[in-house]
């Protein structure tokens, strides 16, 4: 009993240390946003600002037009989630229900797409979109590119959710006179709803912070998302670290709030496919 208690305390201590290491950069971002320009470069650094500069947030919001950037990020994220959900749910259902060698090959190819980095895919995507005229609608082009990149992740997660739904329920619905499509919408989809919503939320968080496609495809400043706006601070003589951190704080905090509020649902949705 004592051995078990000691082990639990040791694991808790390790978890606390790892969490502190992981969260420290986030803490440093928040306090740097409140420091003055001279205090940012003070040696040794202070772990709390002597006189918090709350006005930095208002200055960055107005001078950088944060509202426009965040709106563009929201449009791209919502569009990506909508496109991936419409196309990915049906694909995941087929891969979960129909088992044969060709389905296994399809799943393998889907997983292979997930390992391709965005920096590798951007050149052929840009050339293809240019030839098709999609670049005339840059935000739509970014949405399609994000969908192509994130679809495998969504399909794999939702497939696991569909596999956790007993197939006997569909068979009973078919016996009662439902079609395969009717059984899918009336039986399977409602039972898999939580897993699909969690997967869509993860895609939203990913798309909200997307940078590579947006930076390469969207040239007009009024259509660029917040990730590209943050990059506009960077230069050979950058020293506005308090403004940069204030911008990053306003950009990151909404996503952090969503994750914290829905963390239990996210964990339960991700693990639902593992229990059958």
Q: What is the pLDDT of residue 275?
A: 44
Cα 77 to Cα 206: distance, rounded to the nearest angstrom:
8
Q: What is the pLDDT of residue 140?
A: 94
pTM for this model (two decimals): 0.84
Q: Does 77 share its domain with 210? A: yes
Q: Does 151 share its domain with 16? A: no
> How does 64-88 read in b/e, with b if 16+ C-beta sit within 10 Å?
bebebbbebbbbbbebbbebbbeeb
Residue 151: inside a domain: yes
State the total domains in the chain: 2
| Domain residue limits at 46 | 2-53
Q: Write down the mean pLDDT value for the chain.
A: 84
Of 198, 211, 175, 193, the residue nearest 259 (C-alpha): 198
Q: Does 192 share its domain with 257? A: yes
Question: What confidence category does residue 263 fall into, taking pLDDT thresholds of 50, 70 and 90?
Answer: confident
Q: Per residue in 97-127, pLDDT tens?
A: 877 777 777 777 777 777 778 888 888 898 9
Q: Does 49 share its domain with 76? A: no
Q: Does 43 share its domain with 88? A: no
Q: Does 43 share its domain with 74? A: no
18 Rama class: left (phi>0) / alpha (psi -120 to 50) / beta: alpha
Q: Does 12 share its domain with 73? A: no
Residue 239: inside a domain: no
Cα 153 to Cα 118: distance, rounded to the nearest angstrom:
14
Q: Does 48 share its domain with 74? A: no
Using CB atoms within 10 Å of the CB of residue 264, give its burial: 0 to 12 exposed, 13 to 18 middle, 19+ buried. Answer: exposed
């Amino acid at each position: 009993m004592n051995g078990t208690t000691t082990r639990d305390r040791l694991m808790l201590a390790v978890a606390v240390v790892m969490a502190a290491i992981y969260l420290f950069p986030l803490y440093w971002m928040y306090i740097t946003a409140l420091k003055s320009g001279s205090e940012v470069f003070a040696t040794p650094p202070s772990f709390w600002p002597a006189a918090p500069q709350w006005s930095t947030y208002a200055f960055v919001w107005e001078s950088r037009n944060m509202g426009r950037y965040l709106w563009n990020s929201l449009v791209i994220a919502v569009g990506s989630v909508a496109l991936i959900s419409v196309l990915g749910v049906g694909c995941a259902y087929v891969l979960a229900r129909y088992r044969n060698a060709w389905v296994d090959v399809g799943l393998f190819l889907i997983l292979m797409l997930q390992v391709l980095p965005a920096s590798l895919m951007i050149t052929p995507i840009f050339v293809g979109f240019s030839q098709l005229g999609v670049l005339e609608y840059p935000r739509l082009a970014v949405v399609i590119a994000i969908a192509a990149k994130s679809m495998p992740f969504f399909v794999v997660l939702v497939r696991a959710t569909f596999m956790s739904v007993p197939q006997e329920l569909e068979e009973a619905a078919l016996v009662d006179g439902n079609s395969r499509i009717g059984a899918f919408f009336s039986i399977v989809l409602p039972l898999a709803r939580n897993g699909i919503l969690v997967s869509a939320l993860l895609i939203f968080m990913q798309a909200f912070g997307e940078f590579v496609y947006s930076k390469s495809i969207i040239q007009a400043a009024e259509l660029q998302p917040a990730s590209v706006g943050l990059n506009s601070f960077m230069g050979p003589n950058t020293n506005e670290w308090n403004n940069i951190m204030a911008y990053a704080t306003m950009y990151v905090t909404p996503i952090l709030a969503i994750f914290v509020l829905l963390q239990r649902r996210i964990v339960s949705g991700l693990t639902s496919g593992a229990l059958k």
